[in-house]
């Protein structure tokens, strides 16, 4: 696999203290003594659909065929649906996937996120943001700034301006004072990719750690040096890699895999019908299909989509492990047609 390389590109007008780098702290990301690992990190907001299951299988295959451990992390900082986590774990087991050690939960790691923000703040790399989403959406962008970049509205407020805004919004978000406008990462499937880096949110106004911060801190703390996920998240990799580098953490190797689309060519969703193992089992109940047979058929379909099996061939994850090669993976999305 190609080595990771990251190349920051400086902003044309960096803000004050934007070039500082936070010193390392064992509290935010303690040294990891175990083997390197890959991971799958679902959010417990609902059942896993065929796209999620396919990505989980790929993450497992990438890790297991490169001698890495494989970890499971539940990203439960936002919406949690009761029972969803248990069903997700059961579906992964039904496919034949295993993982090393206990399942971790982001909701139990808030101290690490706070310490990471403290490190950045001590280096002058954190500022309060009082903007609403609507204000950001309608704010004029800086010259040559990419679409969707935070325009820096609150970056360099005077003390008086800051006090006025804090009086109106006493619970601001916290943002990273980034020192670059772009960052380049190397992806196993996409090669070098350069994407936007703006002043990303570290902690939301409601006190919830932001996704970009949490995944960076967690991956470093757990010794995860390989991140396999859907290619819809490729654009977030430069932000996360830059944040990791700023915190003095190792940037993981990335592999962003193609998504699964529904019959209409849009991202697979519940509206497309039988897209989860529970859906497939319900559809087959009248035919007397056993739950194990449903999972086996789903695994076979996913394997065919990855060019790792012939249509209708019965396979196991160990079969696929023996056949797996990243270079042979399809680069386009899989259009899934529920039965």
Planar angle of CA 252, 234, 326, nearest 5 degrees: 65
CA atoms within 13 A on the CB side of 138: 4
Burial of 54: CB neighbours in 10 Å, binned 0-12, 13-18, 19+: buried
Burial of 318: CB neighbours in 10 Å, binned 0-12, 13-18, 19+: exposed
154 annotated as a binding-site residue: yes
Give the DSSP letter string of 157-211.
Answer: --HHHHHHHHHH-SS-EEEE--SEEEEEEEETTTEEEEEE----EEE-TTSPBPH
Judge whether 119 counts as a catalytic residue: no
Distance CA 150, CA 142 (A): 9
270 annotated as a binding-site residue: yes
131 annotated as a binding-site residue: yes
Contact yes or no for 126/177 (Cβ under 8 A) = yes
Give the torsion sign (CA, 121, 127, 132, 134): negative
75 annotated as a binding-site residue: yes
Annotated catalytic residue: which of 9, 79, 270, 307?
Answer: 270
236 annotated as a binding-site residue: no
41 annotated as a binding-site residue: yes
Q: Render the burial of 141-154: b for 16+ CB within 10 Å, e for the rest.
A: ebeebeeebbbbbb
**CB count, 10 Å around CB of 233?**
15
Indicate the annotated binding residues: 39-43, 75, 129, 131, 150, 154, 211, 229, 270
Indicate the annotated binding residues for Zn(2+): 129, 131, 150, 154
Indicate the annotated binding residues for ATP: 270
Catalytic residue annotation: 270
Indicate the annotated binding residues for L-glutamate: 39-43, 75, 211, 229
């Amino acid at each position: 696999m190609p080595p990771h390389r990251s190349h920051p590109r400086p902003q044309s007008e960096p803000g004050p203290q934007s070039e500082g780098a936070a010193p390392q702290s064992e509290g935010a990301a303690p040294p990891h003594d175990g083997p390197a690992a890959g991971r799958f990190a679902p959010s417990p907001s609902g059942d896993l659909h065929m796209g999620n299951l396919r990505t989980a299988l790929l993450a497992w295959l990438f890790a297991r065929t490169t001698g890495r451990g494989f970890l499971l992390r539940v990203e439960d900082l936002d919406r949690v649906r009761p029972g969803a986590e248990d069903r997700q774990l059961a579906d992964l087991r039904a496919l034949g996937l295993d993982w090393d050690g206990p399942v971790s939960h982001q909701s139990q790691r808030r101290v690490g996120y706070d310490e990471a923000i403290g490190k950045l703040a001590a280096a002058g790399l954190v500022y309060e943001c009082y903007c609403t989403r609507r204000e950001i959406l309608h704010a004029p962008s800086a010259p040559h700034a990419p679409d969707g970049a935070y325009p820096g509205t609150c970056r360099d407020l005077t003390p008086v301006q800051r006090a006025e805004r804090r009086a109106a919004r006493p619970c601001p978000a916290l943002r990273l004072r980034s020192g670059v406008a772009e960052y380049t990462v190397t992806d196993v499937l996409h090669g070098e990719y350069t994407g936007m880096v703006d002043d990303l949110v570290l902690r939301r106004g409601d006190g919830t750690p932001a996704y970009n911060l949490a995944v960076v801190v967690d991956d470093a703390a757990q010794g995860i040096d390989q991140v396999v996920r859907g290619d819809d998240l490729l654009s977030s990799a430069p932000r996360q890699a830059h944040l990791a580098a700023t915190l003095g953490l190792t940037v993981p190797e990335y592999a962003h895999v193609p998504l699964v689309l529904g019959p209409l060519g849009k991202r697979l969703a519940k509206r497309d019908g039988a897209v989860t193992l529970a859906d497939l089992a319900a559809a087959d109940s009248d035919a007397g299909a056993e739950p194990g047979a449903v999972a086996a058929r789903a695994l076979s379909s996913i394997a065919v989509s990855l060019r790792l099996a012939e249509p209708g061939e019965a396979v196991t994850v160990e079969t696929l492990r023996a056949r797996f090669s990243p270079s042979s993976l399809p680069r386009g999305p899989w259009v899934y047609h529920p039965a």
